[in-house]
Amino acid sequence: MSKETIHLNISGMSCVNCSNGIEKFLKKQDGVENCDVSFASSQGDFEIDTQKFSKKKLIDKIELLGYHVQEDVKHLEEAQKKEFQNLKRLFIISISLTILIFVFSFSNILNENLKNYTIFLIASVVQFYSGKRFYKLGFKALINRNYDMNVLVALGTSAAYFYSTFVLFFPTLFPENLRFLYFDGAAVIISFVLLGRYLEERSKQKASDFLKKLMNLAPQYANLIDKENNINQVLATQLKISDTILVKTGEQIPADGEIIKGKADIDTSMITGESLPLFKQQGDEVLSGTVNTNGVITIKVTKLAKDTTLSKIIDLLKSAQSKQIPISRLADKIANIFVPTVIIISIFTFIVWAFVGNMQNAILASISVLIISCPCALGLATPIAIVSSVSRGAKDGILIKNPEILEIIKDIKFAVFDKTGTLTKGKIAVINTDIPKIHFSKIQNLEKLSEHPISKAIVEYMNKQEISNIDYDIEDLEIIAGRGIKAKIEKEEILLGNIQLLNENNIEVLPKHLETYKKYLELGNGVILAAIDKKTVGSFILADELKEDAKELINKLKKLDIKPILLTGDNKTTAKKIAELLQIDEIYSEVIPTQKYEIIKEIQKNGKVMFVGDGINDALSIKQADIGVTLNSGSDISKDAGDIILINNELLAVAKSINLSIQTIRIIKENLFWAFIYNGIGIPLAAGILYSINGLMLTPMYAGIAMSFSSVTVVLNSLRLKLKKL
């Protein structure tokens, strides 16, 4: 057996029952191993056995159901736009003709006979032109035994229309008290259902706005520099690794790459959320979709168009939007058995009213039951909330790869953190020194010659000090691995390094400097001693600084009753120091990746665990945890393993993602409530349960309005996520 996964863009789906119908139909085909179709994203993934089933056959089967497969996202968007405009046109025609029907019905412009035949003609246009989509999709649904809302609308309006037609043309077949016409009711129902679809489609498109904006960020063209230094404009998708491209001021960067010439301020806000442009120069990495706001740069392409950071973010968002969570699967199952149940209730209602001798109510009630029961709102309740949630998160730099975690995030008991690069900046910095300033300029000149991270930290520290910029001649430079750096400046020997470097050069460390050295080493800091002309002059105290928002995050988690835990490969002293600063009580230090994994498993015995890390060594723990969170600055492996990626690397986004998940589940539950309450109250009313008490009975027209607004309520409720403060 040879398996292949095929991704298709599908247009023409009008509600979640359409996507369910496609899945149900295709799963019956020999050779289709699995399929996952999303109404919200209009996309589907199909796993087929290529020896039994081909891609062409797959597309033919989908189109046989009445839907269309689009070549790519661009064509899908065009098809959706066309469908949206078509819905708008059909609604305008339908509502205009419906108003005309009411004008004729309640005026004396025409005599009674001519008026009824004119209304019949207008209603026929509404029924078979504006409403033809319900027949078309409903018929195909029936053939495939997928009883969706199109079946209900087609059945309900047809019952009203054909009953009225028979009364009009063959009145003698009916008793005098049953000669009523319901053309207006059928027309109103079709108009309101079309309005509901139109509003629903517009809201769905708004929910995916952020994804579309991201997709539009990918530049189409690039200025390719050839071997003769000519500049040719080519499609960005044609760029190859190691191609050289030119990016001018105001242009978008067309590919991920490295600057090999020039410098510029780059606006990375849409990718990282960074509000201010970042200065980038030779050797720095730049990302596709970001904007060169000032400067001219030449870039060497390092990733193909399909592998850029922007492409990966878009792919992950698409994937997340098309996934279902357990509560969603429950709603879909209910929706699938809902339609046959409603048809049975409708038939039962007709029989009961007919049995008591009221044929008019039998017809009205059975039609009303069919109309009000459309499970569209029920099917839409979860996917539209997930689309809004994923988009809202992405806007705040929270990339939710796996929406399934939305349902369990509220149950987290423990938040376990890696240290370096997660709670700390992962970058060595000088936090203090007792070296007299008079020596700074010489030390700066010397450290500039080394690429070691400690040397860079010292240079960075020096750059912030007010010191004289003097260029010294440096002689006899030696960079000694594991020890430090040694050279002569103006005949003075300068040594910068650890105590071994000084001992090996027979330099006595003065007691006050030795005391500082030991003290900070015990506190978990790094210490670099400095000696000039055979005498120690002081030391630099080094540390991996805490991130600015680390403490605030820990406090927020504690308020949410989530226990923070530190899990690090660092030594006990360093781990203890960081834990004390953050007021974390539980610490695991000096652990290797497999030990981290085992510790996570142990903690899970006491409750749900979220793990936040960024390194390759964290990938196992990220995957094992109930919710794995990783930073965008982390390794590709950790990002692949994570359920959530913090795009702008802000730790506070962890708390925001928890709030977003809690609010999303709340919205889904509200949506399900609204979907059920409309049906729960509407069906008995439509069946006439209160008729014997107070004469109240829902007519088909009001049933149609209620059904349409149940969907609109669910969509609008989901869009509230966009306004929520996280």
Q: Where are the alpha helices (DSSP H) in 106-148?
A: 112-125, 132-143
Vertex 19: Cα angle to 16 and 22 (nearest 5): 150
Q: Which amino acid is at 347?
A: I
What is the rounded CA–CA span in Å between residue 155 and residue 339?
Answer: 12
Angle between the N-to-C axes of helices 376-395 and 16-27, in degrees from 0 to 180, rounded to the nearest 10: 100
What is the rounded CA–CA span in Å between residue 288 and residue 505?
Answer: 51
Question: Please, how many CA atoms are within 13 Å of residue 226, restricted to the half-sphere of its CB?
Answer: 6
What is the rounded CA–CA span in Å between residue 534 and residue 715?
Answer: 76
Run of H or E residues at 430: strand 424-433
What is the rounded CA–CA span in Å between residue 215 and residue 288?
Answer: 11
Q: What is the strand order of the sheet 412-417 is part of?
A: 398-400, 644-646, 627-631, 608-613, 412-417, 563-567, 586-588
What is the rounded CA–CA span in Å between residue 25 and residue 9?
Answer: 17
* First-residue to last-residue Cα distance in the chain: 48
Q: Which amino acid is at 506?
A: N
From the centroid of its chain, how far is CA 446?
49
| Alpha-carbon torsion (234, 236, 240, 245), positive or negative | positive
Q: Are 638 and 614 in contact (CB under 8 A)?
A: yes
Among residues 184, 418, 614, 626, the one annotated as catalytic is: 418
From the centroid of its chain, how far is CA 506?
61
What is the rounded CA–CA span in Å between residue 146 and residue 140?
Answer: 8
What is the rounded CA–CA span in Å between residue 177 and residue 158?
Answer: 21
What is the rounded CA–CA span in Å between residue 629 and residue 627?
Answer: 6
Record the tokens describing residue 306, joined without a space. Answer: 């399909």
Q: Please name the residues in contact with 391: beta carbons below 8 A apart, sequence gap of 6 or more.
A: 207, 208, 209, 210, 211, 317, 722
CA distances from 563 to 546, 586, 609 (A): 19, 9, 10
What is the rounded CA–CA span in Å between residue 125 and residue 136?
Answer: 15
DSSP string, 171-212: GGGS-GGG----HHHHHHHHHHHHHHHHHHHHHHHHHTHHHH
DSSP-derived secondary structure letter, 252? B
Q: For this structure, is 60 an active site residue?
A: no
DSSP string, 404-443: GGGGTGGGEEEEEE-IIIIIEEEEEEEEEE-S-GGGHHHH
Neighbours of 137 (CB within 10 A): 27
DSSP-derived secondary structure letter, 127? I
Integer-rounded Cα radius of gyration of the chain: 34
Q: Which amino acid is at 511?
A: P
Q: Please name the residues in contact with 325: beta carbons below 8 A apart, sequence gap of 6 or more.
A: 382, 386, 403, 404, 406, 407
Q: Which amino acid is at 508?
A: E
Residues with a catalytic annotation lie at 418
